[in-house]
Amino acid sequence: MRDLAVLSFVTLDGVMQSPSMPEEDPSGGFNQGGWAATYWDETMPHVASIAMSDPYDILFGRTTYDIFADHWPNAPRSDLGDRLNAAQKYVVTSRNSQLAWENSHTLTGDIPNAIANLKAKEGPLLQVHGSAALIQTLQVHDLIDEFRIWTFPVVVGPGKRLFGDNIIPRHYPLVASETLDNGVTHHILRLAAFLKR
């Protein structure tokens, strides 16, 4: 059995939509895309060292997968890029188009059951990047063991939020926290052991 961790960038008001660039996810008329970009230079090395240096597999929604798959296979070589390219990638999608990025696998049908089966297998940590709609499904079906959240000192108003209206009430005790020099805070929170039964 392995754990599933959600890695997320959020604003002070809880929005996770389109942190890197305006065109990343303008759905719902969101026009504040790129709100985290000015903080990347210090934040991304921290993300790479704290959350992405150990082995992991990745669980994606299709939109986030397409963004990653468009960039990382063709990016200049780096330790992070090598890890992302080598990782097993599981993609929740209803599209029939082929997944071209190496080590990519389609998940369809009963998604909560498929993800529960993935968690039941031996293997490294399952990480979720971006993928707002998928995270809501994971929360509703109680499939998340840990949150790794980077909170940026920005407020953007309406947008897709990390925590939706239909989540199961849960206690996630704080495991670690850190504030970067640029004002971004990082928190690791794990589902309380007595609630994992």
Q: Tell me the mean pLDDT in the region 96-113.
A: 90
* 32 — pLDDT class (breaks 50, 70, 90): very high
pLDDT tens for 165-186 read 878 888 889 999 999 999 999 9
- Whether the pLDDT of residue 121 is over 50: the answer is yes
77 token code pair: 């070589």
- Whether the pLDDT of residue 194 is over 60: the answer is no
* Per-chain mean pLDDT for the chain: 91
Residues 6+ apart with CB under 8 A from 149: 8, 9, 10, 162, 186, 187, 189
Domains annotated for the chain, with CATH where assigned, are: 4-195 (3.40.430.10)
- Whether the pLDDT of residue 13 is over 80: the answer is yes
- For position 197, what pLDDT does the model report? 43
